[in-house]
């Protein structure tokens, strides 16, 4: 019997939009699938009762009652922002777990970008300048300390890559734990104590009401003067106002996510010195879709095993 | 008997300018030295006959005849651009060998900067934009190949750091050789054959007439379309005209050194898309002076050993 797999993988961002051709690898690898692709919500909802499995960016809680055959949802997203849980608990949700490699390179790019004073260097370049003193206070990243707040699976991949540079990495998770990489992972309760040790403080927190405004002005002021801040998790954990109010204390910031997205043109963040803002793009790589499909194939192979 | 050490370490670039305080570590560590500091050439030349050793940025061939006691010259520079050899061969010259760590981080910054489309991302940021498609063709550096042309001591430190990312690194040196890092080092004669394999081509060549215009237009066109080029050696090995003429073939370039330095404001390089130019600053770090002095202390300890 064919297993019916429905896909709802349209997306505004081209790197996240799956077309028919992208799905060929599923057809080739798992011929027992009957794949039905949808390009809008109403098309999916009209046929959702036939779906055994869904690959999707989004799933609302009230969709489950129509999808009576549904057993599995696979979503590329790492965070649980767009797929709501099944109220009856019958459907298993598989989140993408391939983001670590992508995010780690983006974060390392950002660390080296700020550490090497690229905002100033770019301005020097743009004015055809040859100022050889702008980087005179730069220190090697390998001689510094990076604190990662939110040390889950993704944080751990990031920490491993950064520590390979020779850099000291400290992780903060909900609970302290042993870590195979020799990178200490402390409990969230120790945050205030650890902040003054870091030259670079990275937020990698998921979006939830419990992380709202977590790195507030008071905590930012606990950091070393001249610290660089990074947000590569969700925008809610660092409020724009807290950042702006403590700007005199820090060296700069690299934000891949912001409190509101897209960041409004009226935001004062755009005008700060030594800031770089990217449009929630830390996972935008050409390999994104392939990584999700590879993982999906592994899941389906295991689930469909007779 | 006191050993007379003269220093000629003034420099326009602040990270390279040694003041009295910087030299304290020498006084503390090697009390047998009598240190005489000079802040200009004529001051040094007037007293050079007393010098047993000189720490200097520059030494001209005709200075040797006055410096009759001189045994050793230590210079921070890695390249032999500014200290000429003793025509009589009596004086030993020690070049700095500490540049690898500094250059490796600068080069990795540059690789990630170009790979992650930062010139376009910065323009997007500067216009308060939120374009999430600019990076859609980005590939992880770890899935790519970096070719380093000029695989000496510094190139090797760079290669090691880059290959830790998971990236495939290929070195090119004058002669092929075995390498402890599992990074293949090929002979210069194989350059043309290897160029098409690389996603990123890095020049790390010393300045000499034999490297003039080495990566010429014809060779650039042998590279993969969309390749990124980097010059972190000396400007002579990549002529501006060759780069400009082959610009349609490549993805972009990051130049830390240029044919003329400072690069004249009239240069067409400034106006190219996807280029970044830094002012020969790959070794400009706060730790530069300390690294040279640490190395100098090691040399002097060995030389002064009774």
B132–A13 CB contact, under 8 Å: yes
The pLDDT, as a whole number, for residue A1 is 67
State whether B90 and B134 are in the same domain. no
User: Which residue in B214, B227, B233, B231 sits closest to B269, CA to CA?
Assistant: B231
B39 domain-assigned? yes
State whether A124 and A184 are in the same domain. yes
Report pLDDT digits (tens) over B153-208: 999 999 999 999 999 999 999 999 888 788 999 999 999 999 999 999 999 999 99
A153 domain-assigned? yes
Residues 6+ apart with CB under 8 A from A82: A57, A58, A59, A75
Q: What is the DSSP letter of B100?
A: H
CB A196 within 8 A of CB A226: no
Residue numbers in B near A15 (CB within 8 A): 132-133, 135-136
Helix axes A118-126, A99-115, angle to 10 degrees: 60
State whether B163 and B291 are in the same domain. no
The pLDDT, as a whole number, for residue B233 is 97
A139–B286 CB contact, under 8 Å: yes
A132–B12 CB contact, under 8 Å: yes
Report pLDDT digits (tens) over B247-279: 999 999 999 999 999 999 999 999 999 999 999
State whether A214 and A263 are in the same domain. yes
Buried b (16+ CB within 10 A) or exposed e, B186-218: bebeebeebbeebbbbbbbbbbeeebeebbbbe
Chain-wide mean pLDDT for chain B?
Answer: 96
Tell me how far the alpha carbon of residue A189 is from its chain's centroid: 23
CATH number at residue A19: 3.40.50.720
B278 domain-assigned? no
Buried b (16+ CB within 10 A) or exposed e, B43-58: ebbeebeebbbbbbbb
State whether B186 and B159 are in the same domain. yes
CA distance B288 to B57: 13
Torsion, Cα B290 B296 B301 B304, to 10 degrees, reads: -150
> Which of A112, A272, A283 to mutate: most B Cβ within 10 Å?
A112
A135–B285 CB contact, under 8 Å: yes
Residue A254 pairs with which residues in a beta bridge? A230, A276
CB A201 within 8 A of CB A147: yes
Residue numbers in A near B164 (CB within 8 A): 164-165
CA distance A280 to A79: 13
Measure A53 CA to nearest chain B CA, in Å.
Answer: 28
Note the ipTM here: 0.96
State whether A134 and A74 are in the same domain. no
Residue numbers in A near B280 (CB within 8 A): 132
> Structure pTM?
0.96
A24 domain-assigned? yes
CA distance A49 to A64: 9
A165 domain-assigned? yes
Residue numbers in A near B139 (CB within 8 A): 285-287
A280 domain-assigned? no
Residue numbers in A near B279 (CB within 8 A): 124, 129-132
State whether A92 and A109 are in the same domain. no
Range of the domain at A159: 99-273
% chain B with pLDDT above 90 = 96
Nearest to B113 among A113, A141, A143 (CB): A113
A105 domain-assigned? yes
State whether B248 and B120 are in the same domain. yes
Residue numbers in A near B136 (CB within 8 A): 13-15, 284, 286
State whether B248 and B103 are in the same domain. yes
CA-atom Rg of chain B in angstroms: 22
CB A259 within 8 A of CB A234: no
Torsion, Cα B64 B68 B73 B79, to 10 degrees, reads: 10
What is the edge-to-edge ordering of all strands in the sheet holding A72-75?
Answer: A33-37, A3-8, A53-56, A72-75, A92-95
Nearest CA in chain B to A290: B139
Cis preceding linkage at B112, omega within 30: no
State whether A51 and A165 are in the same domain. no
Statement: residue B1 has pLDDT above 70 = no
| Average pLDDT estimate for B78-105 | 95
State whether A85 and A201 are in the same domain. no
Cis preceding linkage at A53, omega within 30: no
Q: Which residues of chain A have pLDDT under 50?
A: none
Buried b (16+ CB within 10 A) or exposed e, A271-281: ebebbbbbbbb
A264 domain-assigned? yes
State whether A64 and A107 are in the same domain. no
Measure B291 CA to nearest chain A CA, in Å.
Answer: 12
| Total domains in the fold of chain A | 2
């Amino acid at each position: 019997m064919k297993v019916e797999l429905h896909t709802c993988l349209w997306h505004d961002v081209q790197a996240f939009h799956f077309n028919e051709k992208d799905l060929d690898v599923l057809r080739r690898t798992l011929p027992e699938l009957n794949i039905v692709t949808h390009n809008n919500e109403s098309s999916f909802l009209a046929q959702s009762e036939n779906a055994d499995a869904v690959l999707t960016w989004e799933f609302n809680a009230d969709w489950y009652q129509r999808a009576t055959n549904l057993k599995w949802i696979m979503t590329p997203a790492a965070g649980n922002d767009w797929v709501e849980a099944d109220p009856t608990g019958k459907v298993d949700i598989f989140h993408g777990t391939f983001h670590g490699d992508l995010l780690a390179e983006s974060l390392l790019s950002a660390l080296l970008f700020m550490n090497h004073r690229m905002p100033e260097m770019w301005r020097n370049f743009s004015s055809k300048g040859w100022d050889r003193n702008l980087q005179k206070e730069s220190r090697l990243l390998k001689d510094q300390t990076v604190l990662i707040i939110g040390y889950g699976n993704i944080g751990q991949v990031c920490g491993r890559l950064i520590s390979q540079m020779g850099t000291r990495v400290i992780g903060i998770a909900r609970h302290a734990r042993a870590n195979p990489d020799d990178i200490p992972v402390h409990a969230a309760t120790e945050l205030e104590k650890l902040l003054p040790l870091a030259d670079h403080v990275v937020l990698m927190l998921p979006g939830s009401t419990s992380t709202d405004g977590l790195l507030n002005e008071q905590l930012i002021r606990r950091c070393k003067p001249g610290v660089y801040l990074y947000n590569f998790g969700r925008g809610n954990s660092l409020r724009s106002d807290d950042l702006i109010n403590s700007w005199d204390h820090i060296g700069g910031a690299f934000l891949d996510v912001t409190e509101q997205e897209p960041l409004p043109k009226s935001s004062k963040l755009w005008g700060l010195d030594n800031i770089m803002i990217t449009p929630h793009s830390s996972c935008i790589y050409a390999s994104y879709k392939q990584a999700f499909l590879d993982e999906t194939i592994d899941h389906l192979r295991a689930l469909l095993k007779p």
